[in-house]
Amino acid sequence: MIMAAEAYCQAIGTLQSHSYLNNFYHHQKLQNNFVRLKAKDFINSNGLSSRSSSSGQRNCGAIPSLSQTAVVDPVLSPSRSNSGDTYKKSNEASLILIRHGESLWNEKNLFTGCVDVPLSKKGIDEAIEAGKRISSIPVDVIFTSALIRAQMTAMLAMTQHRRGKVPIIMHNESEQARSWSQVASEDTKKQSIPVIAAWQLNERMYGELQGLNKQETADRYGKEKVHEWRRSYDIPPPNGESLEMCAQRAVAYFRDQIEPQLLSGKNVMISAHGNSLRSIIMYLDKLTSQEVISLELSTGIPMLYIFKEGRFIRRGSPIGPSEAGVYAYTRRLALYRQKLDDMFQ
């Protein structure tokens, strides 16, 4: 776990492992206070959520009505009597961010941007490993970019989730696509997780660099110039997007479409890209345009935030379900894992 904490701290470019470790030591105390909830609570408690996103729909034609798809997960419901309102009252939600696993172009060291390239064999393994790390963390709705490497990562990761729900891509690109992908069974819907694909979460568009080898480009234009294109905040690569431009669409989407889900208590996973996630982390962690320059994200490492009382609290990179890890941080997460243990051991 110490290694996981350090790896995460490296990934965010800061060193705050002491607070992570303090929370780990606090775990023993917390564990003694667990209430062991019975599997029958899971079986008896359920309900359809009637809420949909309160946000505007201006960004993307692919925004589904979550009221038709999202359900209250009874594993998360503390009481059978108020299952319909659980999320509203919980005032806490998990947010998992994951950069896709290694792609075939990452492997070849090519600028990728918005070119739609699949995962490499190593990337597939990374996505499965990431899924193991988050297998005991609740997920109610998944947002991915429109690109296959992020979607593959989300889907592969969810094959490892202990809750066993099925991630289903929402097809809202046309009325026909929406109606032809309807699920007829309410029971089946309850065992599904909506997956919403949005181009706003895509990798930054790398313009004339897309498909070029990064090393050869540095040899040709100079290391400093290429570093400026790759990591400066507001200087775009030729005919591409700067990080600032990428942030404008990614953070707007996060605020308009994802934050309302968290506010209503839904647990969210976002599977996206190095630069769209750097922009979102800049927003979550209130990084300056100078600080974000040194923020690097590894492929396939999930990062957890707790959204509570309107604030995002960074909680590191979740590790295996049998270890304390992030579950020491909140009672809600600990109870969720305990219920999974009760159900599936």
Quick one: which of 143, 206, 253, 305 contacts ligand 2PG (CB under 6 A)?
206
**Given the DSSP bridges, would you call strands 268-272 and 141-144 parallel, antiparallel or unpaired?**
parallel
CA–CA gap between residue 185 and residue 188 (Å, rounded): 5
Considering only CA atoms, which of 38, 68, 43 is closest in space to residue 53?
68
Binding-site residues for substrate sit at 99-106, 112-113, 149, 203-206, 214, 230-231, 274-275
* Number of residues counted as binding ligand 2PG (CB under 6 A): 9
CB of 233 to ligand 2PG, least distance (A): 13
State yes or no: residue 230 binds ligand 2PG (CB under 6 A): yes
CB of 230 to ligand 2PG, least distance (A): 4
Query: CB under 6 A: which stretch of 14-22, 61-69, 111-119, 286-294 binds ligand 2PG?
Result: 111-119
CB of 106 to ligand 2PG, least distance (A): 5
- Residues in 271-310 at the binding interface with ligand 2PG, rule: CB under 6 A: 274-275
Q: Amino acid identity, residue 213?
A: N
Q: Which residue is nearest to ligand 2PG (CB)?
A: 112
Query: CB under 6 A: which stretch of 10-18, 60-68, 104-112, 118-126 binds ligand 2PG?
Result: 104-112
> Who contacts 247 (Cβ-Cβ below 8 Å, separation ≥6)?
279, 282, 283
Angle at 329 between CA 325 and CA 331, to 5 degrees: 115
The partner residues of 272 in beta bridges, in order of sequence, read: 99
Distances (CA, A) of 59 to 52, 141, 171: 16, 18, 16
State yes or no: residue 101 binds ligand 2PG (CB under 6 A): no
Q: What sections of 34-182 are H helices per DSSP?
A: 39-44, 86-90, 104-107, 121-133, 148-158, 175-180
CB of 338 to ligand 2PG, least distance (A): 38
By annotation, the residues acting in catalysis are 100, 203
Binding site for ligand 2PG (CB under 6 A): 106, 111-113, 203, 206, 230, 274-275
